[in-house]
Amino acid sequence: METVIGKFKKSEYVIRDSIMKLLSDEEVARVSTTEVETPLSDGEEYLDLEYCEAGMHSAKAMTPPMGRILSEDSVSEKTWNAVLATLASASAAT
């Protein structure tokens, strides 16, 4: 029997996988480069890939944990809109 926590984690993995499939090879490379701890601009939107269901965040004075960040500036506008649609769809399903 699957626990509520188990279902939540599974859902997170499905969302993350769906989002990563939206990225081109070039975008994946840019996101991977972000792991070098490049601070985001104040107010820049980003998604914490470890906690997708938490939705979008806006960068503040602090540097978010790199290595799991998908920032708006690291992908094309088309991809970003697809990511937002994927999150909205996942949110509506829960």
pLDDT tens, residue by residue, 26-85: 988 877 665 555 677 788 888 888 878 788 888 876 666 666 788 888 899 999 999 999
What pLDDT is recorded for position 7?
47
What pLDDT is recorded for position 85?
92
Is residue 79 in a domain? yes
d(CA 87, CA 42): 22
Tell me which residue range forms the domain holding 57. 45-94
9-30 pLDDT tens trace: 567 788 888 999 999 999 888 7
Domain count, the chain: 1
Quote the pTM value: 0.71
Is residue 72 in a domain? yes
What pLDDT is recorded for position 5?
43
Is residue 13 in a domain? no
Query: Would you tell me the crossing angle of helices 77-93 and 4-22 to the nearest 10 degrees?
Result: 160
